[in-house]
Amino acid sequence: MADDEIPSPPAAAARAGLAGALAAAPLQDYLEELHTALTSISDGALADYIPELTRADPGWFGIALATVDGHVYQAGESRRAFTVQSISKAIAYGVALEDRGLDAVLSKVGVEPSGEAFNSISLEPTTGRPLNPMINAGAIATTALVRDDQAPALERLLAAFARYTGRDMDIDEAVFRSERETGHRNRAIAHLLRGYGVLERSPEDATDIYFQQCSIRVTARDLALMGACLANGGVNPVTGVVALKRRYVDKVLSVMSTCGMYDYSGGWIFNIGMPAKSGVGGGIMAVLPGQFGLGVFSPPLDAKGNSVRGIATCERISRDFGLHMFNVARATSATVLRRSYDCRQIRSRRERSAAEQAVLAARGGCVRVYELQGELVFGSAESVELSMLTDLGEADCLVVDCKRVVSVGDAAARLLQRLAERVAAAGKHLYFTETMHLYGFRRLLQKANAAGSADWLRFDDTDRAVEHCEQRLVDAAGVAPVVVDGEDLHNHYLCRGLAEDQLGAVRAAGRERRYPAGVPVISVGETAQSFFFILAGEADVWVGTGGGTAGRRVRLTTLGPGTVFGEIGILDQERRSANVTASTALTCLEVPFAGLDPAIREQMLANMARHFAGMLRENAELVRHLS
């Protein structure tokens, strides 16, 4: 690490458990690709009215993005220190609001855009009140409002910055001296403010504090965390410390939106659509409320005093992910990850042999299911993505259940697409299920997979996707399919304990039935008079939900040779409560229960009781996992 690079805050270092997932995240890839693409921009010039700023290397370029979940992504020289300059105006405005209250601050500084350069003398003609706190006149007046009755104003400002960044802050003394020696225009503005009665401090004292405030050393990472605090209702998402009282956050973001980018503020909010503040040191701090803070550092400036690469970076991120704040999203759930589990806990509804169950008990952690809910936007998708990446070391198959997802925003869709590509590149598998209602998301995935090399949308039904993933584990373990002689009724649980002559009586009472694939065997509402031994083929047991043509089919289980269905309804000859359909060519032995000898019926009822008791134990374990 170079001498002028600042290490991560201790609180962030404590989150090292996420380091692998963050490094592998598609968002990290995106920022690195973006950094590489924009490094070649050579437009702009260093600020020269502060001589010390001309020492900057025009090639320095860092990007950092911090989410409201406390995840920080960085590319380039994101930890290189530079002076915060005018970005400090937003932080100082928040401190003044906390110290003096809204009415007192508004009596000294307005909130109207000036449409003029940052160092213009934009004062109300009659009152002398600066138009807003983001121009130098307003910033000097704002800084003068910071109280120093308990601690010097500079210490108060440094402490405020420390709450935002999570680390101790300091001043670049060389830049401070340079600003102090050349800041004649700012002193003139301060004297003018004092003449109007706006400034309560002496002009020399006010400008010295202002010059020191602008000379605070920060990094792009610091700017991202500062923005994340404002995005997170004033709370630092890494340390949990309140950086700014919530009731003032919207006030700070409002003036950043309308005045934060000097006389480019209108074009900025029109094109990029995020509250932001820039500084002539080359930094830009942008905020997407509720989602993230963005920090960019690149010293060359345009004619308006904004970082050229910084603007290009924010434009690309906003455009690529559709992040304009007026792309209004509906309110999201408290968490989009409803629950997650693996196949050691909850399996598909396919009946498995003992050998297959043993494989899934040992290796089921390789199949992980994520049930999402609500609306997926940039921040929520990023959080879910990290959960999946954290699991990817152990998991080989990821199933993302979207049936409770209301919609997927453009930014979230692109993040999830990049995640799917990353998983595929790692030789693993990801399936998005229950997505038929998410038309835009499906189109994006289909377009991204135009060559058909991946099968992200192969399954609409989550249970079928899980079954497929389970089968991959079973096949990889070399477990051969169990061959059951369906004709041998000894294999059926219902016939346990029956003598040979009794088994013969069961066969004699039954009639063999054959069903082509897709043909119903029994339907909901029919009278239950018989049960069916499967001799060959497979059958799906299912129920419909929703009713009418809008209903959907939910599989309860899949049965094969050596199993039986239809026995539940015969206990009291009630009507059928589930449908059974042949999923392959199916051969069954249909046996009317009433036609059997009482002794056989009694043994079968005892077998049913033991069987259903076992099922209840399994279901109790399932409920334990679900809760």
Give the active site residue among 89, 108, 251, 277. 89
Side-chain half-sphere exposure of 221, counting CA atoms within 13 A: 22
Question: Whole-angstrom Cα distance, residue 35 to residue 246?
Answer: 33
588 contacts: CB under 8 Å, gap ≥ 6: 512, 513, 514, 515, 521, 532, 533, 534, 535, 539
178 is catalytic: no
Are 524 and 538 within 8 A, CB to CB?
no
196 is catalytic: no
Q: What is the DSSP string of 207-248?
A: HHHHHHHHTBEE-HHHHHHHHHHHHTTTB-TTT--BSS-HHH
Nearest-5° Cα angle at 301, 298 to 302: 140
Give the active site residue among 95, 280, 287, 400. 280
Report the chain's C-alpha Rg in angstroms. Answer: 34
Question: Whole-angstrom Cα distance, residue 593 to residue 527?
Answer: 13
Are 370 and 401 within 8 A, CB to CB?
yes
Are 88 and 403 within 8 A, CB to CB?
no
89 is catalytic: yes
Q: What are phi and psi of 67, to 5 degrees?
A: -90, 165
Give the active site residue among 8, 30, 78, 86. 86
280 is catalytic: yes
Q: Which single residue is written with the structure tokens 């998708």?
A: 381
Give the active site residue among 30, 93, 210, 431. 210
Q: Which single residue is written with the structure tokens 């109790």?
A: 620
**Of the candidates 483, 485, 503, the residue with the CA atom closest to the CA atom of residue 494:** 503
Give the active site residue among 93, 248, 262, 370. 262
Distances (CA, A) of 61 to 164, 216, 245, 284: 22, 19, 32, 12
494 contacts: CB under 8 Å, gap ≥ 6: 531, 533, 564, 567, 604, 607, 608, 611
3-state secondary structure of 293: strand
Output the furthest CA–CA distance in the chain (Å, rounded): 115
Residues recognised as catalytic: 86, 89, 210, 262, 280
